[in-house]
Structure 1
Amino acid sequence: MAETPWLTIIGLGEDGLNGLSGASRDALEQAEIVMGAARHLALLPGLSCEVLEWPVPFADGIDMLLAQRGRRVVMLASGDPFWFGAGSSVTQHLTRQEWCAIPAPSTFSLAAAALGWPLQTVSCMGLHAAPLTRLRPYLARGARVLVLLRDGAAVGELAGYLTQRGFGASLLHVMEALGGPRARTRTMKAAEYSLRDVGHPVAVGLEVAGAGQALPCVAGRADDFFDHDGQITKQTVRALTLAALAPVPGELLWDIGLGSGSVSIEWLLAHPQVEAIGFEADPRRAARALANAAALGVDRLKLVEARAPEGLEGQPLPDAVFIGGGLSEALLTRLWEILPRGVRLVANAVTLESEALLIQWQARAGGRLMRLEISDAVPLGSKHGWRAAYPIVQWRVIT
């Protein structure tokens, strides 16, 4: 016989008891304990069982909840608990037999219905505790984004961020307490934002407009998107490098010799489910790379402030490796000792010594060598001529 779940996670709308399904009502009637945030508990007055208020910060309540294992417990959450909600934060500590969930319409569904937006064409983001810079890849004229925010003050911060980035003409549809009697929607341009009485919970429907610079969707973004001291894989070479690294959802990159972070950042921009670890011994470059990642919306870049190969020890093994700096015999030898089979490795060399090293290793381990020679047209008197950049030798190999 299947084990009866001791925990029921109920998605709660702003209309409280009136919006609950029959299954949710039954779970509440049978509960020995109901646990939820103060706002959620206030939507269900008159509960006859024991009530526990979920503490702030949220993580502090997980142990409280797990301590009730074996009793009939209802956990209250907003809307759909598994769409930018609290559900997975709890269920990762439980077996699948210990819990069940009864979701309500998500805030995203309610917002799309309020605005008449086809939800499948809209980007949805939960930024309750995340930086607003995560919006950066989505800021393109004509784009629509639904954003969940922590409170009214955060809406003002969003308006300021958009204006600062050149998107002050964007429309903000500020939606409070959707699905309940307090629901209201107000609309204004980001540059003209003046609301001071926005209540929680709040969602914003963003229609992006303005002269701000959008991030292109493909690798090889312009160098001026990245703050750097000259230590950067230039745009054209970076595009070829990312094509060779070939990011796939769920994969991890090691970026050895992080520099400005441009390769790791473009890897992370490829898909929200890829990860990257950068290895950089220079603290100034390390800080600059992290700042670039945050500014371009991929603050999930992880940093190891150490030289390779020493800094590689103890790190999760990658699916792809890029060597942009610090290339040496010792590094390649150590990589071949620790990397599993099937890892894609790309190394770029500009000096004769590094080029010779790659030639030796290509003879030993195989792979493909490419020589990249790029020239730009520049003024030459009253006409133009070609100015060549230093050639790059690129080695692509699978371990």
Structure 2
Amino acid sequence: MAEAGPWLTIIGIGEDGPAGLSDASRIALEQAEILVGASRHLALVPDGIASRRIAWPVPFALDPLLAERGRRVVMLASGDPFWFGAGSLVAERLAPGEWIAHPAPSSFALAAARLGWAIERCQCLGLHAAPLDRLRPLLAPDARAILLLRDGTAVGALADYLRVRGFAASTLHVLEALGGPAERVRRFGAADTLPGDIRHPVAVALEVAGTGDTLACVAGIDDGWFAHDGQISKRPMRALALSALAPRPGEHLWDIGAGSGAIGIEWLLAHPHNRATGFERDPVRAERAADNARRLGVDRLAIVTGSAPDCLFDRPPPDAVFIGGGLSAPLLAMLSTAMPAGTRIVAHAVTLESEMLLAEWHDRRGGMLLRIELAEARPLGSRRGWRASYPVVQWSAVL
């Protein structure tokens, strides 16, 4: 058994194998009883080191590693284990004194170094097992991103994705086996026919160019981005709702009566660490909202199919709540008693009955009550006139 102290050493290893390791990493490797890692990483370590080797199972699970607690174990990971690696997953399961880590240069750092890019001005994404739609909010002319992809087939899928969305003029720097003897860097256009010999591990440094649609950076993106059946908070109302909800980094939103999912989606677009749960009683709309979220790169929108307030119980509490549908006295009563102090609430009403309900709650709980009336210029014979929408009453308050 190992002495008291870290039993696990997490080592970031590059394509050059042990030759590129620090002294501390080499010592830990030489003293290891057990090596754990991907088969590709285990193959980089010469025979004679460690008496046993364990390859990660498929699908990935930490159980084989955790079962060796107390032995001298070395876990191998690509480059920096805490940047789209398994390091953070292990750290969450172990006490601080049980592990120590020796990172190596990440694939992002190596890619930036090969191309002379300022890495702080690049978006860095790990897309080994994530959908390419995660790229959607980043696609804008002159944007740069460094992407870790699964294999050559995924590089081809990336080029197809860019072409379909109007960014065929983009440049792909394909970087294979960075840091090792088989390293190769090649440049292609998204419209080019890609070679069939692109090898894993592969990263792509992307320079975006083209005339495709670009997502706006402010609340209230165009309604055309969302598939819907008319059940949607329209762009001006959505902007006002999000302004009142005031999303902050890392916060969680409940979107009750999610409809197209537009409010939750824009909440998530506001910051990459934000979370949102949409509640929608219509299963067709619920699926449509989830699909909208996937297409716009925020597949982390959680959708619950059910009617409020029944579907709200036993859920992780939110920091803010938006009620766009299903407004009722029982719902407001439940929220006022069950939500933590400081929860922000924004509710929209169109009917006279729901307006009266919000007026009553404004009188009881304070906050701000707004009546919003919008009109849009439309053809009127040979001229134009104003066509008014139904007025919306918005109540916003801190519970």
TM-score range, shorter chain: over 0.9
Between 1:311-320 and 1:381-390, the stretch displaced more is 381-390
TM-score by length of 2: 0.98
Q: Residues 159 and 193 of structure 1 are in contact (CA less than 8 Å); yes or no, is this contact kept in structure 2?
A: no
* C-alpha separation in 2, matches of 1:136 and 1:51: 43
The C-alpha deviation readout for 1:190-214, integer Å capped at 9, x for no partner, is 1223221111100000000111100
The C-alpha deviation readout for 1:347-381, integer Å capped at 9, x for no partner, is 00111111111111111111110011111122223
The correspondence of residues 352-391 of structure 1 with structure 2, limited to 5 A, is 352-391=352-391
Does 1:272 find its partner at 2:283? Answer: no
What is the deviation of 1:121?
Answer: 0.3
Classify the secondary structure of the residue corresponding to 2:216: coil
Q: Which runs of 5+ in 2 are unaligned?
A: none
Q: Residues 54 and 64 of structure 2 are in contact (CA less than 8 Å); yes or no, is this contact kept in structure 1?
A: no
Match of 1:208 in 2: 208
Between 1:106-115 and 1:376-385, the stretch displaced more is 376-385
Match of 2:296 in 1: 296
Match of 2:64 in 1: 64
Q: Residues 6 and 73 of structure 1 are in contact (CA less than 8 Å); yes or no, is this contact kept in structure 2?
A: yes
Q: Residues 171 and 189 of structure 1 are in contact (CA less than 8 Å); yes or no, is this contact kept in structure 2?
A: yes
Number of residue pairs aligned between Structure 1 and Structure 2: 397
Change (3 A) 1:84 1:136: same
Classify the secondary structure of the residue corresponding to 2:393: strand
Match of 1:99 in 2: 99
What is the deviation of 1:55?
Answer: 2.9
Q: Residues 172 and 207 of structure 2 are in contact (CA less than 8 Å); yes or no, is this contact kept in structure 1?
A: yes
Q: Residues 255 and 324 of structure 2 are in contact (CA less than 8 Å); yes or no, is this contact kept in structure 1?
A: yes
Match of 1:118 in 2: 118
Q: Which runs of 5+ in 1 are unaligned?
A: none
Q: Residues 29 and 49 of structure 2 are in contact (CA less than 8 Å); yes or no, is this contact kept in structure 1?
A: no
Between 1:231-240 and 1:370-379, the stretch displaced more is 370-379
* C-alpha separation in 2, matches of 1:258 and 1:80: 39
TM-score by length of 1: 0.98
* C-alpha separation in 2, matches of 1:333 and 1:254: 16
* C-alpha separation in 2, matches of 1:14 and 1:334: 56
Classify the secondary structure of the residue corresponding to 1:92: helix
What is the deviation of 1:189?
Answer: 1.1
Classify the secondary structure of the residue corresponding to 1:212: coil
Match of 1:4 in 2: 5
Alpha carbon RMSD of aligned pairs, Å? 1.1
Counterpart residue identity of residue 327, structure 1: L
Match of 1:19 in 2: 20
Match of 1:134 in 2: 134
Does 1:47 find its partner at 2:63? Answer: no
Match of 2:155 in 1: 155
Counterpart residue identity of residue 307, structure 2: R
The correspondence of residues 310-321 of structure 1 with structure 2, limited to 5 A, is 310-321=310-321
Q: Residues 255 and 277 of structure 1 are in contact (CA less than 8 Å); yes or no, is this contact kept in structure 2?
A: yes
Q: Residues 150 and 202 of structure 1 are in contact (CA less than 8 Å); yes or no, is this contact kept in structure 2?
A: yes
Q: Percent identity?
A: 61
The C-alpha deviation readout for 1:301-322, integer Å capped at 9, x for no partner, is 1111000000001101110000
Classify the secondary structure of the residue corresponding to 1:85: coil
Counterpart residue identity of residue 267, structure 2: W
Counterpart residue identity of residue 281, structure 1: R
What is the deviation of 1:56?
Answer: 3.3
Match of 1:239 in 2: 239
What is the deviation of 1:58?
Answer: 5.2
